[in-house]
Structure 1
Amino acid sequence: MKRPSSWIACVGPFLFPWGEAGSRRVYGLVASLAAAGRTVVVAGGGPEPRTETPLPGIDGPGSVSYLGLAERPAPEAGPVRSSVQTLLRWGWRTAQWLDAQPTRPSHVLVHGGQAQYMFHLRRWCERNGVPLIVDVVDWFNGHHVRGGYLGPLHLSMKLALHHYYPRCDGIIAISSYLEAHYRSAGRPLLRVPPTLDVKNLTLDARNSIADSSPLTLVYAGNPHGNKKDLLGTVIEAVGRVEREGAQIELRIYGPTQDEVRRIVDGRPLPGGVRCLSRLPQSDVAAALQEADFTVLVRRPDRATEAGFSTKFCESLASGTPVIANLTSDMGRYLRHNIEGLVCRDHTLDEVVTALRTAARLDGAQRSIMRQAARSRALESFDYRAWAEPVGNFFRQWG
């Protein structure tokens, strides 16, 4: 595909158009670059063919297109092929693709590369005099990866975090925690929260809510067996408030009913809990908008503080307030009784208190909170709002 002489390559083995959380994060960044006038080619880990596909719905003088480089092993690949690809050759195909381009990119933006991937990318950028910018979104937790803390995948992630990322030419951090951690590296640094196309997100017509309507809550995602999102605590809180006489329903999208039962150690689920299985990403916004609140309770730890929940931003963008304890930078955007309800901590008693408060809200109060949630998202999480700071950050290198 023909492109201008100045273009940005955005690469990463986990980038796909655009269902997974990492891809949604990158979509916001590259959309901001396009709004700032840049041409971006996203070369992800998806399967071939290697045909650049323009991404629709991008506002601005620039553009974004996607192609797959098959960096991730195919599902049918055996353990030997998969291990060779991820442990030895990860990033090699991306470097080959960069070598084959008729003009070098002005920058390489990398997302989600572990040590092996970063080794190939950094070597290519140094050899060709192209600045390498890294987007850092996690402090990896060994509980959540195959092999655990001492497994090769976690060790590779840690090597990237501590060795390769600080040596990149520029760093984009998703949170204040990561921003503070990498400040000592002395590299140009920019904090950008998760962003998305808030402006064009279709909203339902739920402008009025009856005072007598039941309180509807939603959880959508993967709780990682109650290790990341404390879904078990939320379910127990729903049961307690339900026994007190409140009309309350919790809709769970993602884990199966059997997985949810394991989270609560096999105990019967409260009557108001509905396990509705996994949703396609295109249907998530509609499911959020049908609820009064999204509930997001997390145990504060380093991984939680370093990351930033995409679910939180998507909920506010959908006009759905959030019930949550404050982790990462959520306190910048979630004010008690305005964009949602704040739990003072992640304990059962605090979640119960928040649900009791939510159940007492009348229809007008819920509607006002929905409007505030949407306004906050437009101001803070729409990719257009970040076009200028992201564009200026990349201009440091031309």
Structure 2
Amino acid sequence: MRRTGWVACVGPFLFPWGEAGSRRVYGLVASLAAAGYDVVVASGGPEPLTRTALPGVDGPGSVSHLGLAERPPATAGPIGSSVQTLVRWGERTVRWLDAQPTKPSHVLVHGGQAQYMFHLQRWCRRHRVPLIVDVVDWFNGRHVRGGYLGPLHLSMKLALHHYYPRCDGIIAISSYLEAHYRRSGKPILRVPPTLDVKSLTLEARQTGGDSPPLTLAYAGNPHGNKKDLLGTVIEAVGNVRRDGASVELRVYGPTPDEVRGLFGGRTLPDGVRCLGRLPQAEVANALQEADFTVLIRRPELAADAGFSTKFCESLASGTPVIANLTSDMGRYLRPNLEGLVCRDHTVGEVTAAFRAAAGLTATQRSVMRQAARSQALESFDYRAHAEPLGRFFRQWG
């Protein structure tokens, strides 16, 4: 496949490689490199203004990374931070684009708020460079600093409703966002979270007996039970253990005090282990050691518009998922294949799912692990999306 140009992938909230904020973007740019594009990821962080090649991407293209320091440093203070984020956000990105000896064939933006999008759209129109936006969230005000009426949330909403529909093309992470932005009349492509599934090595896991002990895992930030209902999961674990089942829940991310707070300050049930934060490189191994990961969310707009990366990472690790269905999870999570489905997010339904999981034999769990891995290879490996993404970008030459 021939090389087709270079893409500037920009955004104020792109993070150093390997952190949570970068994993969505890694999948997209890896697909573009596999389709023949050279991609430069210019994040908003303070990383050095020197391009660093990222290895391990299959295809004729390439991916490199640098930082533009769009985000104010921790030492900036409230006034300096406000000026940078409310007035100047995007100016450094535009200056970097102006300084390139050859203009990019496309600009791909991830997570730009109103001020950032204002500067970026004006530059792209002036230079006749197509601007493609990657939309991954509906931005729930409960999850951002300042709440619903804070300047950050208002800026996000202005970008969602005014700037994003006026981009040249839109990549949507979910069917909900795809349907919403299709009304704009602009070219749109739905791409779920993707990662390098093929290169993820699976460790053999041996379990014996007709009903071996059940190991569950949760990894992430529940945002005080506002996003992931970890308190509900813990309650259900206690219920199943009182039935006499051997169940262990391993919690990665929040501290023990935070986990107890999510459980109303009560003593955690036996079998709940709080293991703290893990480096991203170790998450896959931790997931593989579990029989299931657990993802329980309220069926609200933010959950349906987004798409959990944790879900995709679990299937990629060959670990089935116990979840209630939000967003597009029903496309990939078939009951008793890639995992177990809770009919809703209540304690009763989660408890019933845990009881069913505890009763599965080692053979049944092995079959589900194979189904999870196969689904991830087919649906979430970045290589599977190289051809449709390349075709989408080639609309603009």
Count of residues paired in the alignment: 395
Distance in 1 between residues matched to 2:371 and 2:209, nearest whole Å = 19
Q: Take 2:83 and 2:91, find their aligned partners in 1: how far apart are those partners?
A: 12
Give the SS at the match of 2:240: helix
Tell me how large the CA RMSD over aligned residues is. 1.1
Q: Is 1:343 aligned to residue 338 of structure 2?
A: no
* 8 Å Cα contact 1:209-1:367 kept in structure 2: no
Decide whether the 8 Å contact of 2:173 with 2:191 is kept in 1.
yes
Aligned residue for 1:338, secondary structure, equals coil
**2:25 matched residue in structure 1:** 26
Matches for 1:4-19 after TM superposition, within 5 Å: 6-19=5-18
Q: Provide the C-alpha distance between the structure 2 equivalents of 1:236 and 1:212, rounded to a whole number of angstroms.
A: 22
- Measure the CA separation in 2 of the matches of 1:328 and 1:195: 15
Aligned twin of 1:287: 286
- State the Cα deviation string for residues 122-177 of structure 1 (Å, max 9, x = none): 01001100000000000000000010000000000000000000000000000000
Please state if 1:302 is matched with 2:286: no
Q: In the alignment, is residue 229 of structure 1 matched against residue 228 of structure 2?
A: yes
Query: How far apart are the structure 2 equivalents of 1:362 and 1:129?
Result: 60
More deviation, 202-211/40-49 = 202-211
CA deviation after TM superposition for structure 1 residue 240, in Å? 0.3
Deviation at 1:19, TM superposition (A): 2.7
Question: Are the aligned partners of 1:194 and 1:308 in contact in 2 as well (CA < 8 Å)?
Answer: yes
Deviations 1:344-383 (CA, angstroms, capped at 9, x unpaired): 1111111011000000001111111001000000000000
Query: In the alignment, is the contact (CA less than 8 A) between 2:9 and 2:40 conserved in 1?
Result: yes
TM-score w.r.t. the length of structure 2 is: 0.98
Looking at structure 1, the residues matched to 384 and 29 of structure 2 have their Cα atoms a distance apart, in angstroms, of 13
Partner of 1:51: 50
User: C-alpha distance in 1, partners of 2:297/2:182?
Assistant: 26
User: Is the alpha carbon distance of 1:210 and 1:64 closer, same or farther for their aligned partners in structure 2, counting shifts above 3 Å?
Assistant: farther
> Contact 1:95 / 1:121 at 8 angstroms: preserved in 2?
yes
- Alignment of 1:245 onto 2:244: yes
Show the counterpart of 1:261.
260
SS at match of 1:204: coil
For 1:238, give the aligned amino acid: V
Unpaired runs of 5+ in structure 1? none
Deviation at 1:21? Answer: 2.6
Residues 287-308 of structure 1, C-alpha deviations (whole Å, 9 max, x = no match): 0000000000000000000000
Give 2:234's aligned amino acid.
I
Question: Partners in 2 of 1:8 and 1:212 — Cα distance?
Answer: 52
Contact 2:88–2:115 (Cα < 8 Å) also in 1:
yes
Identity among equivalent positions (%) equals 80
- Output aligned runs, 1:89-168, within 5 Å: 89-168=88-167
Counterpart residue identity of residue 47, structure 1: P
- Hey, what's the Cα distance between the residues in 2 that align with 1:208 and 1:376? 22
**Which string of whole-angstrom CA distances, capped at 9 and with x for unpartnered residues, describes residues 80-103 of structure 1?**
111111111111000000000001
Superposition deviation, residue 47 in structure 1: 1.0
SS in 2 for 1:396: helix
Distance 2:221 2:112 in 1: 22
Q: Deviations over 1:175-201 (max 9, x none)?
A: 000000001000000000000000001
Which residue identity does 1:206 align to in structure 2? R
Residue equivalent to 1:196: 195
Query: How far apart are 1:104 and its partner, in Å?
Result: 0.4
Separation in structure 2 between the aligned mates of residue 287 and residue 264 of structure 1, nearest angstrom: 23
Paired residues of 2:215 and 2:291 also in contact (CA < 8 A): yes
Q: Cα distance, 1:212 vs. partner?
A: 4.8
How many angstroms apart in 2 are the aligned matches of 1:207 and 1:217?
A: 16
Report if the CA contact (8 A) 2:4-2:37 is conserved. no
Distance 1:296 1:190 in 2: 26
CA distance in 2, matches of 1:110, 1:211: 51
Determine if contact 1:325/1:346 at 8 Å carries over to the other structure. Answer: yes
C-alpha distance in 2 between matches for 1:368 and 1:377: 14
